[in-house]
């Protein structure tokens, strides 16, 4: 087990959003405010880590022919738990995220790690993989949320900081409203993916010299 390698892959070299291009639906839809990005990121990280643990524990007894269905049952159990907890203790975030919390059941990030890693490794490596991949996913969501909220509304931390209003950085008269619309999600994600590829390309080029 190489913890350092797993951390590097989750946060950087195999980032689930910027490199593997997984979980695009929620990434594009909910990253309009810091609270949304944080809420979705933490939820996915918790569900991914716990699902990896259970799937790793059951990997030798789950029949191969029904493994995907079994994974979905495990994931759906934890999604339901997280959804109910959000509704009970963080109702504003639960309402803001809406249907995207239940849709975590079929989030490609979680299903991909269940199939590619948790079903083939022991519990501890599976748990670390889930945590690292979840943190990588959360980091991208937070970066996108900050960019889109700042440029689209002129605020920071809306829904979470300063009584939920966030901190006003500049007047909304000067904001680019399209950044909190679907096109803003595509533009922001595209720029981040391009930046990631550029940096990785430069790193690979220097490593080959």
**153-206 pLDDT tens trace:** 999 998 888 887 889 998 888 899 999 999 999 999 999 999 999 998 888 777
Domain range summary for the chain, segments of one domain joined by +: 3-208
**Average pLDDT value for the chain:** 93
Candidates 167, 137, 169, 163; CA nearest to 151 is 169
Q: Please give the model's pTM, rounded to 2 decimal places.
A: 0.93
Res 75 pLDDT > 70: yes
* 38 CB-near residues (< 8 Å, 6+ apart): 138, 141, 142, 145, 160
Query: Residue 41 burial by CB count (10 A; 0-12/13-18/19+): exposed, middle or buried?
Result: buried
Tell me the percentage of the chain whose pLDDT exceeds 90. 83
User: How far is C-alpha 82 from the geometric centre of its chain's CA atoms?
Assistant: 15
Gap between the Cα atoms of 112 and 90, Å rounded: 28
Q: What is the pLDDT of residues 79-106, one digit of tens each?
A: 999 999 999 999 999 999 999 999 999 8
CA atoms of 5 and 18, how far apart (whole Å): 17
Q: pLDDT at position 165, please? A: 82
- Whether pLDDT at 209 is above 80: no
pLDDT in tens, 110-137: 999 999 999 999 999 999 999 999 999 9
Longest CA–CA span in the chain (Å) reads 60
pLDDT (mean) for 41-50 = 97
């Amino acid at each position: 087990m190489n913890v350092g390698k797993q951390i590097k892959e989750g946060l950087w070299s195999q980032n689930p959003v910027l490199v593997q291009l997984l979980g695009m639906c929620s990434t594009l839809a909910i990253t309009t405010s810091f609270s949304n990005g944080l809420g979705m990121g933490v939820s996915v990280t918790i569900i991914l880590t716990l699902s990896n643990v259970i799937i790793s524990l059951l990997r030798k007894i789950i029949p191969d022919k029904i493994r995907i269905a079994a994974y979905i049952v495990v994931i759906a159990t934890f999604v339901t738990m997280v959804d109910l907890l959000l509704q009970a203790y963080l109702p504003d975030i639960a309402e803001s995220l809406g249907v995207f919390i239940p849709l975590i059941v079929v989030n490609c990030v979680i299903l991909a790690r269940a199939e590619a890693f948790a079903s083939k490794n022991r519990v501890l490596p599976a748990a670390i993989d889930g945590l690292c991949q979840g943190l990588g996913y959360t980091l991208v969501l937070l970066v996108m949320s900050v960019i889109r909220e700042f440029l689209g509304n002129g605020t920071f931390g809306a829904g979470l900081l300063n009584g939920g209003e966030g901190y006003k950085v500049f007047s909304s008269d000067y904001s680019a409203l399209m950044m909190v619309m679907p096109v803003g999600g595509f533009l922001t994600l595209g720029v981040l993916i391009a930046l990631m590829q550029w940096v990785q390309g430069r790193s690979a080029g220097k490593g080959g010299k």
